[in-house]
Structure 1
Amino acid sequence: MKKLYFLLFFCSLLLYSQERYFLNSDTRLYTSPNSSAAFLGYFKYGAEIRLLGESQNGWRKVKADNFNEGFIEEKYVAARLNAKDVKIKDPQNPILEGGAYYGGNHLFILAAGLKARALPDKNAKIREILFTGDAAAVNYLPVNPDEWVNINGSFSEEYAKFTLRKFLGLRPNFDALIKDFDKLDVNAVAERKTLSERIVELAWNSGYSSLVPAYKRYSEVVTQLNDPKLIAETELNMALAKGLSQRKKLEDIIAFSKKSHYSLRGFITNSVYISQTDLLKTFGNPPKKTHISDECGLYLSDLFYYYPDLEVSVDEKQNKAEIIKVFINENNKFIINQNAILDYTLSEKAFIEKYGTYIEASLKYPHKYFIIMEDSQFTLEFKNGKLFSVEIFYYC
């Protein structure tokens, strides 16, 4: 089945790669060329379609981005969209237009840890894990809750992502989920676990202030399950939630980290820069040199040196190197300031408890923490509970 879908996808792309068509209005996908016929789903303005046949008395047979086939009125088909399009809205169409959470047509994920697949097949490759409250692009929505939805809106096999219709809807309400959880019988552990997972994920999508009440309830369930690994993870996340909920002002965070530098094999750098001479004296010739395209012009040079201990951008003419990534070990330390010296003995929990009010974090990037600066950010990654690396990213 998976191979069949891929062949259909490939043939569709091959036949229509030069003929892209869009809908200039809301409409529906009908089972026959008749607006009073049964319909399979809803299209939103801007949806891309594939034409499958010639005009039939003002109707066209089309394929939606989830492979549903049916009929729409030909007047809604356009080779390109225009700002002057007169959009006819369908008041019963469940798909949301751009708003505070997403700029285009969308719905929200309702389930926790939802797998988005590369094809409309439950055995297809997992392309992404989605969380409760995530906004997902939706241009076509089938009526059948057990049908697949393309939540990328693209016919391209490289980018398409699919999930089931029943897992999409209006954005869940955090306070309502909390009330539902508190009403459950304390012995209904399975239900409490499912709901608390949704609450935690939605909290991450609702602002740091929601994290403590979310993890408080999740912690109750974890204690009931008596899973030592899960208990330890939850304690770590509760400490993180407390730190994030009391996050410092941006100016305080920038002041905290603006003099950041490194100790590399005992050599103390000046901020994130080091001369090429000192680099070679400390680390020797690099095992690998590579030129990397830098369209934004973010780095010192497009020439990168790669060592087992670090990665640097090097301008050989200026005798200057910019430290991009450092692997923290017994030789290397990250010095945020004179009171915050981070070495390989630093545990993840100790870091969170001490510096949790200075960082940002995301459920999508576990064990990675971000320190924001004016034009860049440091990413600190922990592995096996210890500080593993520090990397700088510049804003394009």
Structure 2
Amino acid sequence: MAIAGNRSVLISGAGIAGPTLAYWLNKAGYDPVLVEHAPTLRTGGYVIDFWGLGYDIAERMGLRDEIHRLGYSVREMRIVDGSGERIAGFGTKVFQELTDGRYVTLARSELSRLLFEKGRDRTELIFGDEVAGLEQQDDHVRVRFRHGEERRFGLVIGADGLHSPVRRLVFGAQDRFEKDLGYAVAALEVAGYRPRDEDVYVLYGQPGRMLGRFTLRQDRTLFLFVFATDGAPLPQTLDGQKQMLRARFGDGGWECLRILDALDAADALYFDRVSQIRMPGWSQGRVALVGDAAFCVSLMAGQGSALAMTSAYVLAGELARAAGDHEAAFRRYDSLLRAYIELKQRGAERFSAAMAPKTRLGLWFRNQVVRAFALPGLATLTIGREITDRLELPDYDWPS
């Protein structure tokens, strides 16, 4: 049995929160070990709008130039009808103004890779394995892996997403904490699709469903499907997921049939329900959660990655400040972020309903609001509260 000292921290998950936490834990004088059940870092997926505290943390990690080099400068969000005619939309300049230019759209997988590369030289990495069992002791956590040998760590942090195995093992079943927002989402990336509207996010909506198209580099196109659900379980196989998308979008106008044809050749598909995780506490003993594992606001909120980075930064900073008292650090971490996260979760609920309204009246009202964004100052007044962060990022004295 391999035994590590109490400065060792096992981090489950190599998405956004995990690599960010590993980087800052090194700054705090800890020895992070990152385990990821996938054999390699994930690619593809979907694009995110990145701003706020997450952007600030990326800048402190020296990643600002790389993020903008890999990112996209979206110039318009355009809503079209069944014939492809523009019926509403707005320029995205308002986001640049609200954030003083600290705003970029980029692939989530690219952000994950940048964060991972930043800290990999000082982090032990385990791919193709996962946490299968946890047993907490007074001075360590005994961890059983699915494939590797049993080990002991001073702390264990679950950064393993909406369906967190660490959360399930320590806090209980997911349905105790999950709030289903009534939608499902799928993302697909294909090559060679036409037409291409460069730097424009094109959206087509019908009651209870929305389909978006966004052009990527290297002649690739990203499609995002969002549709209302009745709470029934979602299919787990790729064929079943494709069949569900065909059933939900097969009678749609615009480019629905052409996009569904492109779906046939796909050998990978992001597919999940849109839901939140709401927990009364994010730690128990020597185990804590960060990012979506602790408080998923939902993919539709658009700030999940930034919030994951914020929680990782604050947790590492509080561990550094507490000088080894993990219980005090965990309490402080929770108290600093709790109200801020709850505010973001309430905003995400409103945004999900606004993106894919379930009635024709709701669609009409959404389009009127989007059209009104063209009026000077109205977009700032309407969405400024959601864009502007109300939490000041703490400054920590990093010992190393």
Bigger relative contact order, structure 1 or 2 (CA pairs below 8 A, ≥6 apart): 2
Question: Greater share of helix residues, 1 or 2?
Answer: 2
Return the index of the structure with the highest Cα Rg. Answer: 1
TM-score, with length taken from structure 2: 0.20
TM-score computed with the length of structure 1 as normaliser:
0.20
